[in-house]
Amino acid sequence: MASAVVGAATTPVLAWTATAEDVGRFNLLMVYVGLGVVVSCLGLDQAYIRFHHDARRRGRLLTAAMLLPVTVSGIFAGAILVAPSWFAEQAFDLRAASVGVGLAAAIVLNVIYRFAAVEIRMAESPGALLVNQVVPKVILICAVLLASVLGAGVHFEIIVWVYAAGLAAALAVWSSRLFSRAVLHAERTGEADTRQMLRYGVPLTASALAFWVAASTGAVGLRALASIQEVALYALALSFALPASLLQVVLASVWTPIVFRWNDIEAREQLPKVQRMVSAGAVWLFLVLGSGSWAVHWLLPSQYASVEYMIPAAMAPALWYAVSEVTAVGIQIRKRTSLLALASSAAAAVGVITVVPLAAALGARGALLSMMAAYGTLFVVRTELSARVWMSVPRRRLYLQAALVGVLASSVLLGGPFLGVRVYLVWVAAVVILAVIDLFETSRRSRRVRVP
């Protein structure tokens, strides 16, 4: 969670110290690096977690898991280094060989960094894991602020290389004891290890890649259809949606371990209550934080004033995904993980189809609408699939609350700049509607209970 907080602070800091174009480029850097990690790892990072506790020779297992991803990332890096200036221009609209080389280094370092973090996590060293995750972001923030204070100027070439140096520092300092011990003292890797893990991990890669498409289509679409400045607005809106993302982090850390400790009867009894509680909490969190989005006036330069009206639309997808962690638990209980890939693929398809007209017409606002459409699809498909493979629960209230969030976020996004202060009437109306929904559903449940 601390890593998420520090990470979310990075984009606003860049907004004050770098140009809007470079803020957008930094967001694109995170998108491309994320793609490189997903494709390079081939799900072997997740396979290592799955087989870790059953392995007698864990050093050998880690080496087997790492070997292919590091090789694949090296191939990607080599391809970029053949024509670094061309890759930099295509990815960032900036013809600079140093940027292409920095992108190649960032991809390889992130793959190694991913396995270092996994090893530290499996060694149950939360303090080391926290520091390992925070160090690269803190180094970037401090370097950017120092350059700004000294008047050196903050350019994207500097940002790329400071980011890569932060990853290298985290690997060298905080990961060395646990990570190098596991790798350097490993036995010779056998083919059986890699093949077994690939059979487990490759299907997860398809799901992760589809999810990456759903999550990243907005930024990539804006790069192709609008401008780098629009990418900056989009990135800043997402960075201020952090509290909504933290709900998903908390649920992933607390909810999943709890539900897997329940037996089937307990899960069937408790799930409807938990779903109602989480959905209601998500909506009220959206109302409280969304209505306070005016505070960005104090946190961003004046050229980013329109971000105020984008924040609710950036929060909605994160909240829907968080609620779906609960509503889709039946898929995991039944171990039908292929259905998660199906849901992610449906969301990715919706994102790709909608981003082209919306981003071209509305810029960052259109990209956020496309993202909402993708995550709304993900929420509905995951919920419905879970209801069919495990247990059907009442979903009217879930969908009414989700629809309220979507309508309100879209209204503020599209109408906020024209309504001005009157936009708060929309928030008041939403509170009234939510209260009516709660009263209606509570009355409906009580009547059902009284029926003999």
Instruction: List, in order, residues 6 or more apart from 145 with CB less than 8 Å away.
Output: 13, 17
Counting other chains too, the contacts that 271-278 makes at CB distance below 8 Å and 24 or more residues apart are 271/326, 271/329, 271/391, 271/393, 272/393, 272/394, 274/326, 275/323, 275/326, 275/327, 275/393, 275/398, 276/397, 278/251, 278/322, 278/323, 278/326
What pLDDT was estimated at residue 130? 66
pLDDT, tens only, 185-236: 555 544 456 777 788 777 778 888 888 888 888 898 898 888 888 999 999 9
Higher pLDDT, 419 or 325: 325
Question: In which band, very low, low, confident or very high, does the pLDDT at 452 lie, cut at 50, 70 and 90?
Answer: very low
Residue 421 pLDDT exceeds 80: no
What pLDDT was estimated at residue 100? 93
pLDDT, tens only, 138-173: 888 888 888 888 776 778 988 999 999 888 887 776
Q: Which of 272-286, 303-317, 331-345: highest mean pLDDT?
A: 303-317
Query: How big is the chain by its Cα radius of gyration, in Å?
Result: 23
d(CA 386, CA 267): 13
- Here the tokens at position 247 are 């709900």
Instruction: List, in order, residues 6 or more apart from 423 with CB less than 8 Å away.
Output: 309, 412, 415, 416
Residue 55 pLDDT exceeds 60: no
Give pTM, 2 decimals: 0.84
What pLDDT was estimated at residue 447? 58
**105: nearest Cα among 167, 14, 155, 24:** 167
Residue 77 pLDDT exceeds 50: yes
Q: What percent of the chain has pLDDT over 70?
A: 81
H helix runs in 153-190, sequence order: 156-173, 181-184
Q: Which of 202-216, 399-413, 432-446: highest mean pLDDT?
A: 399-413
What pLDDT was estimated at residue 180? 54
DSSP readout, 230-245? Answer: HHHHHHHHHHTTHHHH
